[in-house]
Structure 1
């Protein structure tokens, strides 16, 4: 849901998009890649109960975002945050930009995160695969994850 302030920024400009700072890159259209890398690193077999959660804005609004949900926390480009604190922050910030903004929260199948084809099967979702960026975004996401501790127990 982050809005880049880079002059002339467009998701269609793959060079400008790739050259965004990591936090902005994973906030502005590559959040699903970060979520996939997180799940692959910290819950590859799915036994820890972490899952991708899509913030799908209600009709007429923008501001899609995907986070990883764990017991009582969310993870995204910010790092870890208690769910209630995160929800309050996201809603408050989005409503500053788009008054009345609200979103539904949809649990996603993991395989949607890296497949444009599978993502488009979900109404309102259209994600790029990792290789659809200027360069493969998965190594960048894995490197970005080294900045964070493992998930809370």
Structure 2
């Protein structure tokens, strides 16, 4: 698991210039999830948020259909994504724990995102929606949704 250097999230230029996987894995995951849902509204996927215990880092938003998940890794199985995320944070903070909850607010609405302490699409240096669309276009969605559980992130 990759963790950005301290201060990158507060610097719009450095934040924007990160590799896509880092950008969407550490600070813009909600934008990727929102664009995915906009792109595939009838896919059966919905947004979920990992919410760390009080005072802990490690929020993450992704989409799932209850079995499959999609985030900055691409497609994986839901249980594998949660295990990977939890393991990464436990390595840094042994007492790390979190709850998982369905997202009940619009992921591309700045006011709603700001109310949940996340940046809206218009608060990034450039357009993260277009960046997310290009990132999503890299994947074969039909093939990925049919893979067997042997695949991992």
Q: TM-score, normalised by structure 2?
A: 0.85
d(CA) in 2 for partners of 1:80, 1:87 = 13
Find runs of 4+ consecutive structure 1 residues off by over 6 angstroms: none
Show the counterpart of 2:109: 115
Pick from 119, 125, 135 the counterpart of residue 128 of structure 1.
119
d(CA) in 2 for partners of 1:141, 1:41 = 10
1:48-106 Cα deviation digits (max 9, x unpaired): 32111000001131110100011301110001111122222111111001112111111
Show the counterpart of 1:97: 92
The SS at the match of 1:114 is coil
Structure 2: unaligned runs, 5 residues or longer = 147-153
Show the counterpart of 2:56: 61
Report how far residue 120 of structure 1 moved. 4.4
Verify the 8 A CA contact 1:52 1:110 in the aligned structure 2. no
Structure 1: unaligned runs, 5 residues or longer = none
Show the counterpart of 2:132: 141
The total of aligned residue pairs comes to: 144
